Amino acid sequence: MSLVEFAFTPAGPPSGTAPHLIGIVLFDQFSLLQAAEVADVFEKANRLDTGAAAPRYKTVFLSVGGEQVVSSLRVAVLTQKLPEHTAGTRGFRALFVAGGEGASGAARERLIAWLRDASEAVETVCAIGAGSALLDAAKARVAMTRRAARIPAAPAALSAPSAPSTPSTPSAVQAVQAALEAVRRDLGADAARDVATQLSWSSLPKPVSIALDTHEPVAQKIRDSAQWIARNCDRRISITTAAQHAGMSERSYLRHFRAEMGIKPSEHLRRTRVELASTLLAQSDLPIDKIARRCGLTSGECLARLFRQVVHLSPTEYRSRARRARV
Protein backbone atom coordinates (compact mmCIF):
# COMPACT_ATOMS: atom_id res chain seq x y z
CA MET A 1 0.00 0.00 0.00
CA SER A 2 1.34 3.41 -0.87
CA LEU A 3 1.26 6.04 1.83
CA VAL A 4 0.56 9.65 0.97
CA GLU A 5 0.22 12.18 3.76
CA PHE A 6 -1.86 15.00 2.38
CA ALA A 7 -0.83 18.31 3.94
CA PHE A 8 -4.05 19.72 5.33
CA THR A 9 -2.56 22.31 7.68
CA PRO A 10 -0.52 24.71 5.54
CA ALA A 11 0.99 27.82 7.06
CA GLY A 12 -1.87 30.04 8.22
CA PRO A 13 -2.59 33.46 6.74
CA PRO A 14 -1.86 36.69 8.58
CA SER A 15 -4.06 37.49 11.57
CA GLY A 16 -7.43 38.94 10.61
CA THR A 17 -7.67 37.09 7.29
CA ALA A 18 -8.52 33.59 8.51
CA PRO A 19 -9.68 31.39 5.62
CA HIS A 20 -13.01 29.63 5.37
CA LEU A 21 -12.52 26.02 6.45
CA ILE A 22 -13.81 23.28 4.15
CA GLY A 23 -14.16 20.01 6.05
CA ILE A 24 -14.17 16.66 4.22
CA VAL A 25 -15.04 13.74 6.52
CA LEU A 26 -13.41 10.45 5.49
CA PHE A 27 -13.80 6.76 6.28
CA ASP A 28 -11.71 3.79 5.15
CA GLN A 29 -12.40 2.84 1.52
CA PHE A 30 -13.75 6.29 0.66
CA SER A 31 -13.60 7.43 -2.98
CA LEU A 32 -10.39 9.43 -3.28
CA LEU A 33 -11.40 10.71 -6.73
CA GLN A 34 -14.71 12.13 -5.54
CA ALA A 35 -13.16 13.82 -2.49
CA ALA A 36 -10.38 15.27 -4.65
CA GLU A 37 -12.92 16.77 -7.08
CA VAL A 38 -14.60 18.70 -4.26
CA ALA A 39 -11.27 19.88 -2.81
CA ASP A 40 -10.19 20.93 -6.32
CA VAL A 41 -13.09 23.38 -6.57
CA PHE A 42 -11.84 25.35 -3.57
CA GLU A 43 -8.18 25.11 -4.62
CA LYS A 44 -9.01 26.60 -8.01
CA ALA A 45 -11.09 29.30 -6.32
CA ASN A 46 -8.05 30.24 -4.22
CA ARG A 47 -6.00 30.72 -7.40
CA LEU A 48 -8.66 33.01 -8.87
CA ASP A 49 -8.92 35.24 -5.80
CA THR A 50 -5.55 36.86 -6.43
CA GLY A 51 -6.47 40.10 -4.66
CA ALA A 52 -6.81 38.40 -1.28
CA ALA A 53 -4.04 38.73 1.29
CA ALA A 54 -4.35 35.01 2.04
CA PRO A 55 -6.12 31.99 0.50
CA ARG A 56 -9.88 32.23 0.85
CA TYR A 57 -10.35 28.51 1.58
CA LYS A 58 -8.46 25.88 3.55
CA THR A 59 -9.44 22.22 3.11
CA VAL A 60 -9.26 20.04 6.22
CA PHE A 61 -9.63 16.26 6.07
CA LEU A 62 -11.46 14.89 9.12
CA SER A 63 -12.17 11.48 10.62
CA VAL A 64 -13.75 10.13 13.79
CA GLY A 65 -10.42 9.17 15.34
CA GLY A 66 -8.04 11.60 13.63
CA GLU A 67 -5.91 8.86 12.10
CA GLN A 68 -4.74 7.87 8.63
CA VAL A 69 -7.68 6.83 6.48
CA VAL A 70 -7.14 4.50 3.54
CA SER A 71 -9.02 5.20 0.31
CA SER A 72 -10.44 2.66 -2.15
CA LEU A 73 -7.26 3.22 -4.19
CA ARG A 74 -5.13 2.13 -1.18
CA VAL A 75 -3.81 5.64 -0.66
CA ALA A 76 -3.61 6.74 2.99
CA VAL A 77 -4.71 10.28 3.90
CA LEU A 78 -3.72 11.96 7.15
CA THR A 79 -6.74 13.47 8.93
CA GLN A 80 -7.68 15.58 11.90
CA LYS A 81 -10.06 14.39 14.59
CA LEU A 82 -13.63 15.65 14.45
CA PRO A 83 -14.15 18.62 16.82
CA GLU A 84 -15.47 17.37 20.15
CA HIS A 85 -18.10 20.07 20.49
CA THR A 86 -20.45 21.81 18.06
CA ALA A 87 -18.68 25.12 18.73
CA GLY A 88 -15.66 23.66 16.98
CA THR A 89 -17.57 23.53 13.67
CA ARG A 90 -18.47 27.22 13.54
CA GLY A 91 -15.36 28.11 11.58
CA PHE A 92 -16.38 25.78 8.75
CA ARG A 93 -17.85 27.21 5.57
CA ALA A 94 -18.95 23.77 4.40
CA LEU A 95 -18.73 20.12 5.40
CA PHE A 96 -18.67 17.22 2.94
CA VAL A 97 -19.08 13.60 4.01
CA ALA A 98 -17.34 10.97 1.89
CA GLY A 99 -18.58 7.56 3.02
CA GLY A 100 -16.78 4.25 2.79
CA GLU A 101 -16.82 0.73 4.16
CA GLY A 102 -15.35 2.05 7.40
CA ALA A 103 -18.52 4.05 8.15
CA SER A 104 -20.09 1.42 10.38
CA GLY A 105 -20.58 0.43 14.00
CA ALA A 106 -19.76 2.82 16.81
CA ALA A 107 -17.88 5.18 14.51
CA ARG A 108 -20.95 5.55 12.31
CA GLU A 109 -23.24 6.32 15.25
CA ARG A 110 -20.85 8.91 16.62
CA LEU A 111 -20.57 10.63 13.26
CA ILE A 112 -24.35 10.70 12.78
CA ALA A 113 -24.75 12.38 16.17
CA TRP A 114 -21.97 14.83 15.31
CA LEU A 115 -23.51 15.65 11.91
CA ARG A 116 -26.87 16.22 13.53
CA ASP A 117 -25.34 18.94 15.72
CA ALA A 118 -22.97 20.31 13.08
CA SER A 119 -25.83 20.87 10.63
CA GLU A 120 -27.13 23.59 12.95
CA ALA A 121 -23.84 25.51 12.84
CA VAL A 122 -22.55 24.99 9.27
CA GLU A 123 -24.25 26.56 6.26
CA THR A 124 -23.57 23.70 3.81
CA VAL A 125 -23.44 20.01 4.72
CA CYS A 126 -23.36 17.70 1.71
CA ALA A 127 -22.62 14.08 0.84
CA ILE A 128 -19.90 12.90 -1.49
CA GLY A 129 -20.99 9.66 -3.10
CA ALA A 130 -21.75 6.96 -0.53
CA GLY A 131 -21.76 9.52 2.29
CA SER A 132 -25.43 10.09 1.46
CA ALA A 133 -26.50 7.22 3.76
CA LEU A 134 -24.87 8.93 6.75
CA LEU A 135 -26.55 12.25 5.99
CA ASP A 136 -29.91 10.59 5.51
CA ALA A 137 -29.55 9.06 8.99
CA ALA A 138 -28.48 12.40 10.47
CA LYS A 139 -31.45 14.16 8.86
CA ALA A 140 -33.78 11.57 10.38
CA ARG A 141 -32.26 12.21 13.81
CA VAL A 142 -32.75 15.96 13.39
CA ALA A 143 -36.39 15.43 12.42
CA MET A 144 -36.99 13.13 15.40
CA THR A 145 -35.41 15.62 17.79
CA ARG A 146 -37.58 18.45 16.48
CA ARG A 147 -40.75 16.37 16.76
CA ALA A 148 -39.92 15.46 20.34
CA ALA A 149 -39.38 19.11 21.18
CA ARG A 150 -42.28 20.24 18.99
CA ILE A 151 -40.02 22.66 17.14
CA PRO A 152 -41.07 23.57 13.57
CA ALA A 153 -38.64 22.17 11.01
CA ALA A 154 -36.26 24.73 9.55
CA PRO A 155 -35.13 24.67 5.90
CA ALA A 156 -32.92 21.63 5.43
CA ALA A 157 -29.26 22.28 6.17
CA LEU A 158 -28.25 18.80 5.04
CA SER A 159 -28.16 18.05 1.36
CA ALA A 160 -27.93 14.46 0.16
CA PRO A 161 -29.59 12.09 -2.31
CA SER A 162 -31.32 9.00 -1.01
CA ALA A 163 -29.20 6.25 -2.54
CA PRO A 164 -25.51 5.32 -2.49
CA SER A 165 -23.65 6.19 -5.64
CA THR A 166 -20.72 5.54 -7.88
CA PRO A 167 -18.51 8.35 -9.22
CA SER A 168 -20.80 8.91 -12.21
CA THR A 169 -24.09 9.21 -10.29
CA PRO A 170 -25.94 12.40 -9.29
CA SER A 171 -24.44 12.39 -5.77
CA ALA A 172 -20.94 13.07 -7.09
CA VAL A 173 -22.32 15.85 -9.26
CA GLN A 174 -24.29 17.29 -6.35
CA ALA A 175 -21.20 17.56 -4.14
CA VAL A 176 -19.33 19.52 -6.82
CA GLN A 177 -22.39 21.71 -7.38
CA ALA A 178 -22.58 22.44 -3.64
CA ALA A 179 -18.89 23.42 -3.66
CA LEU A 180 -19.40 25.68 -6.67
CA GLU A 181 -22.43 27.25 -5.02
CA ALA A 182 -20.32 28.11 -1.96
CA VAL A 183 -17.77 29.74 -4.26
CA ARG A 184 -20.54 31.66 -6.04
CA ARG A 185 -21.84 33.04 -2.75
CA ASP A 186 -18.36 34.07 -1.61
CA LEU A 187 -16.69 35.24 -4.83
CA GLY A 188 -19.54 35.79 -7.29
CA ALA A 189 -21.05 34.02 -10.27
CA ASP A 190 -18.21 34.87 -12.65
CA ALA A 191 -15.64 33.27 -10.33
CA ALA A 192 -17.77 30.14 -9.96
CA ARG A 193 -18.08 29.86 -13.74
CA ASP A 194 -14.33 30.25 -14.11
CA VAL A 195 -13.74 27.48 -11.60
CA ALA A 196 -16.31 25.22 -13.31
CA THR A 197 -14.63 25.58 -16.69
CA GLN A 198 -11.30 24.48 -15.20
CA LEU A 199 -12.58 21.26 -13.65
CA SER A 200 -11.58 18.02 -15.33
CA TRP A 201 -14.89 16.19 -14.76
CA SER A 202 -12.95 12.97 -15.33
CA SER A 203 -15.41 10.84 -13.36
CA LEU A 204 -18.62 12.64 -14.29
CA PRO A 205 -20.89 11.65 -17.16
CA LYS A 206 -20.98 15.16 -18.61
CA PRO A 207 -20.15 18.73 -17.59
CA VAL A 208 -22.40 19.90 -14.78
CA SER A 209 -25.03 22.39 -15.85
CA ILE A 210 -24.70 25.07 -13.21
CA ALA A 211 -27.41 27.66 -12.80
CA LEU A 212 -25.15 30.35 -11.43
CA ASP A 213 -27.90 32.90 -11.08
CA THR A 214 -28.21 34.03 -14.71
CA HIS A 215 -31.98 34.05 -14.21
CA GLU A 216 -32.01 34.24 -10.44
CA PRO A 217 -34.72 36.53 -8.98
CA VAL A 218 -33.41 39.94 -7.98
CA ALA A 219 -34.63 39.51 -4.40
CA GLN A 220 -32.58 36.32 -4.03
CA LYS A 221 -29.52 38.02 -5.51
CA ILE A 222 -29.82 40.77 -2.91
CA ARG A 223 -30.27 38.35 -0.02
CA ASP A 224 -27.25 36.38 -1.21
CA SER A 225 -25.30 39.61 -1.48
CA ALA A 226 -26.21 40.61 2.07
CA GLN A 227 -24.90 37.23 3.29
CA TRP A 228 -21.75 37.65 1.22
CA ILE A 229 -21.13 41.08 2.79
CA ALA A 230 -21.60 39.60 6.27
CA ARG A 231 -19.16 36.74 5.56
CA ASN A 232 -16.55 39.11 4.15
CA CYS A 233 -16.90 42.07 6.51
CA ASP A 234 -13.28 41.56 7.57
CA ARG A 235 -12.18 42.70 4.10
CA ARG A 236 -12.45 45.93 2.19
CA ILE A 237 -15.74 45.95 0.29
CA SER A 238 -16.74 48.62 -2.20
CA ILE A 239 -20.13 49.13 -3.84
CA THR A 240 -18.49 48.27 -7.16
CA THR A 241 -17.22 44.94 -5.84
CA ALA A 242 -20.52 44.05 -4.15
CA ALA A 243 -22.51 44.90 -7.30
CA GLN A 244 -20.17 42.79 -9.44
CA HIS A 245 -20.60 39.81 -7.15
CA ALA A 246 -24.35 40.20 -7.41
CA GLY A 247 -24.12 40.45 -11.21
CA MET A 248 -25.81 43.86 -11.29
CA SER A 249 -24.96 47.44 -12.19
CA GLU A 250 -24.11 49.70 -9.26
CA ARG A 251 -27.22 51.82 -9.75
CA SER A 252 -29.53 48.82 -9.96
CA TYR A 253 -27.78 47.13 -7.05
CA LEU A 254 -28.16 50.12 -4.74
CA ARG A 255 -31.83 50.55 -5.62
CA HIS A 256 -32.74 46.89 -5.17
CA PHE A 257 -30.65 46.42 -2.03
CA ARG A 258 -32.42 49.24 -0.24
CA ALA A 259 -35.83 48.02 -1.42
CA GLU A 260 -35.17 44.45 -0.28
CA MET A 261 -33.16 45.01 2.93
CA GLY A 262 -34.50 48.40 4.03
CA ILE A 263 -31.01 49.89 4.37
CA LYS A 264 -28.08 50.78 2.14
CA PRO A 265 -25.28 48.23 1.57
CA SER A 266 -22.87 50.50 3.44
CA GLU A 267 -25.14 50.53 6.50
CA HIS A 268 -25.50 46.76 6.36
CA LEU A 269 -21.71 46.47 6.30
CA ARG A 270 -21.42 48.84 9.28
CA ARG A 271 -23.90 46.86 11.33
CA THR A 272 -22.27 43.56 10.44
CA ARG A 273 -18.88 44.85 11.53
CA VAL A 274 -20.31 46.13 14.80
CA GLU A 275 -21.93 42.74 15.43
CA LEU A 276 -18.64 40.92 14.80
CA ALA A 277 -16.71 43.40 16.94
CA SER A 278 -19.27 43.03 19.75
CA THR A 279 -18.76 39.26 19.78
CA LEU A 280 -14.97 39.58 19.82
CA LEU A 281 -15.06 42.21 22.58
CA ALA A 282 -17.31 40.10 24.78
CA GLN A 283 -15.70 36.72 24.19
CA SER A 284 -11.99 37.45 23.77
CA ASP A 285 -9.12 39.43 25.28
CA LEU A 286 -7.86 40.67 21.92
CA PRO A 287 -6.61 44.28 21.86
CA ILE A 288 -8.97 46.84 20.31
CA ASP A 289 -6.63 47.44 17.36
CA LYS A 290 -6.53 43.74 16.50
CA ILE A 291 -10.32 43.46 16.75
CA ALA A 292 -10.62 46.44 14.43
CA ARG A 293 -8.45 44.75 11.81
CA ARG A 294 -10.46 41.54 12.09
CA CYS A 295 -13.56 43.59 11.34
CA GLY A 296 -12.11 45.18 8.22
CA LEU A 297 -11.19 48.48 9.87
CA THR A 298 -7.80 50.14 9.80
CA SER A 299 -7.38 51.04 13.47
CA GLY A 300 -8.87 51.00 16.94
CA GLU A 301 -9.84 54.64 16.47
CA CYS A 302 -12.01 53.70 13.50
CA LEU A 303 -13.68 50.99 15.56
CA ALA A 304 -14.25 53.37 18.47
CA ARG A 305 -15.84 55.94 16.17
CA LEU A 306 -18.09 53.31 14.59
CA PHE A 307 -19.10 51.91 17.98
CA ARG A 308 -20.07 55.31 19.33
CA GLN A 309 -22.17 55.97 16.24
CA VAL A 310 -24.05 52.67 16.40
CA VAL A 311 -23.92 51.48 20.03
CA HIS A 312 -23.32 54.85 21.74
CA LEU A 313 -20.52 53.30 23.78
CA SER A 314 -16.78 53.00 23.33
CA PRO A 315 -15.44 49.48 22.66
CA THR A 316 -13.86 49.42 26.12
CA GLU A 317 -17.13 50.41 27.80
CA TYR A 318 -19.02 47.77 25.81
CA ARG A 319 -16.51 45.07 26.80
CA SER A 320 -16.78 45.98 30.48
CA ARG A 321 -20.58 45.91 30.44
CA ALA A 322 -20.70 42.64 28.51
CA ARG A 323 -18.40 40.95 31.02
CA ARG A 324 -20.30 42.28 34.02
CA ALA A 325 -23.50 40.92 32.52
CA ARG A 326 -21.98 37.44 32.27
CA VAL A 327 -20.97 37.34 35.95
Q: Are residues 190 and 125 in the same domain?
A: yes
- Tell me: do 222 and 303 sit in the same domain: no
pLDDT score at 7: 31
For residue 242, the enclosing domain spans 218-266
Run means of pLDDT, 10 residues per run, the chain, 327 residues: 33 53 87 86 84 81 85 84 68 83 64 76 80 66 41 38 38 81 83 78 44 62 89 88 85 89 90 90 91 91 89 88 77
Phi, psi (degrees; rounded to nearest 5) at 123: -65, -40
Structure confidence at residue 158 (pLDDT): 38
Strands 57-63 and 92-98, sheet pairing = unpaired
According to DSSP, residue 153 is labeled P
Instruction: Please report the pLDDT score of residue 117 as a whole number.
Output: 77
- Which pLDDT does position 49 carry in this prediction? 64
Torsion angle (degrees, nearest 10) of CA 47, 48, 51, 57: -60
Could you tell me if 116 and 107 are in contact, meaning their C-beta atoms sit under 8 angstroms apart? no
Question: What total number of domains does the chain contain?
Answer: 3
136 shares a domain with 40 = yes
Q: Is there a single domain that holds both residue 187 and residue 159?
A: yes
Q: Is 294 left (phi over 0), alpha (psi -120 to 50) or beta?
A: alpha
Identify the pLDDT of residue 13.
39
What CATH number is associated with residue 306?
A: 1.10.10.60
181 and 158 share one domain: yes
CB atoms within 10 A of CB 220: 11
The answer as to whether 211 is a domain residue is no
pLDDT of residue 4: 36
Q: Where are the alpha helices (DSSP H) in the chain?
A: 32-48, 105-118, 132-149, 170-187, 189-198, 218-231, 239-246, 250-261, 265-283, 288-294, 300-310, 315-326
Whether 170 is covered by a domain: the verdict is: yes
pLDDT attached to residue 161: 35
